[in-house]
Structure 1
Amino acid sequence: MILNKQEFYVNGVNYTVRSAIDKDAKDLSEIRLQIDGETENLDREKGEAFIDIPGFEQIIKTDTENPRNLFLVAVVRDRIVGFSRCEGIYLNRFAHKVEFGVCVLKDFWGYGIGKNLLKESVSWADSNRIKKITLNVLETNDKAITLYRKLGFEIEGILKKDKILSDGKYYNTIIMGRYK
């Protein structure tokens, strides 16, 4: 699915949220690798489950062609600084929902980029008869959990001792959902 671009100005930074396009594949491959190395809030360590340029080209193509998928990028001065995806499940019993994921370069935290990627995704879902958006979040990611709650997400469950981080400790994953 393709969305019209939206312009934002937050804390002195102008940025655009728009649908991903083919030419973004190289930048997306690089930024995903960088982001994975900047935070433990995501599922991957740096370099794990690496997606190369052709891999991102295929994801963009699939998400553009499928009405139940959405791939957005956040762009500051012609540079992608974050992205999000909603991916639908095509089994009939799950056709009412999508799973959301987001990541933003650490240098661009605090500018509402993740929030606006999510708000655009929620708006898209609401206008496309998608009844439920789900996501997973690390229990220590308090800012994300607070944001998700503000936008109507509720905790639906907890996966106990789901991840092991660099400190050698196990952490819970919180499953959240927003039902319209």
Structure 2
Amino acid sequence: MRVNQKKFYKNKVYYIIRSAIEQDAKTLSKVRAEIDGETENLDREKGEDYIDEEGFKKIIKEDTERINNLFLVAEVNRRIVGFSRCEGNNLKRLSHKVDFGVGVLKEYWGYGIGRNLLQESVCWADSNEIKKMALNVIEANDKAVELYKKFGFEVEGILKKDKFLSDGNYYNTIVMGRLGPPMSHWVGT
């Protein structure tokens, strides 16, 4: 699905958030690999689970066509510096929810880009009757956990010793979820 682009300004940096388009595929491939190499907050190390230009073209096409998917990019001076994705599921029993993920180049941390990608995704989910947004975050990423809580995400569980990082230690993964607009047929709550 596509959304209208929005403009933002923080700390003397203008940026836009918009839906990903096919022409972004090559850049997204590079940016994703770069982000993976800049932080251990994500599941992948640089080069792991690499998605090439054609792979991103396919993802963008599918996300544009599917009503329960959203792929956003953040641009500074026409340069993609971050992205987020809400991925829904075609299975009927899971069709009410999306999995959320976000990444921003380290050079652009502190400008509210991740926050605004999250905010735009939450607004989209609520306006499209997505009943649940789910995400995983490493326990060491305190800032992200607090941000998600501000947007209504709650801790749903802990995956113990789920990640092994370069410092030689294991870290827990926090499973978080956010329930969207009220559902008329909630069962089991």
Give the drift of 1:11.
Answer: 1.4
Measured in 2, the distance between the counterparts of 1:102 and 1:59 equals 15
Take 1:39 and 1:77, find their aligned partners in 2: how far apart are those partners?
24
**1:128 Cα offset (Å):** 0.5
Structure 1 unpaired stretches of 5+: none
What number of residue pairs does the alignment pair up? 180
Tell me the equivalent position of 2:140.
140
In structure 2, what is the equivalent of residue 178 of structure 1?
178
SS in 2 for 1:99: strand
Q: Which residue of 1 aligns with 2:187?
A: none
Task: Give 3-state SS (helix, strand or coil) of 1:111's partner.
Answer: coil
Q: Give the TM-score normalised by structure 2.
A: 0.94
2:131 is aligned with 1:131: yes
Q: Which residue of 2 aligns with 1:44?
A: 44
* 1:30 equivalent in structure 2: 30
In the TM superposition, 1:1-180 aligns within 5 A as 1-180=1-180
Task: Give me the whole-angstrom Cα distance separating, in 2, the residues matched to 1:63 and 1:89.
Answer: 11
Q: Secondary structure at the match of 1:147?
A: helix
CA RMSD in angstroms, aligned pairs only: 0.5
- Please give the per-residue CA displacement for 1:123-159, whole angstroms capped at 9, x wherever unaligned: 0000101010000000000110010000100000000
TM-score (norm 1): 0.99
Q: CA deviation at 1:170?
A: 0.4
Query: CA offsets, 1:62-83, max 9 Å, x none?
Result: 0000000000000000000000
How far apart in 2 are the matches of 1:22 and 1:99?
22
Q: Which runs of 4+ in 1 moved over 6 A?
A: none
Residue 94 of structure 1, CA deviation: 1.0
Deviation (angstroms), 1:168: 1.2
Structure 2 residue ranges without an equivalent (≥5):
181-189
Q: Structure 1: which amino acid aligns with 2:84? A: S
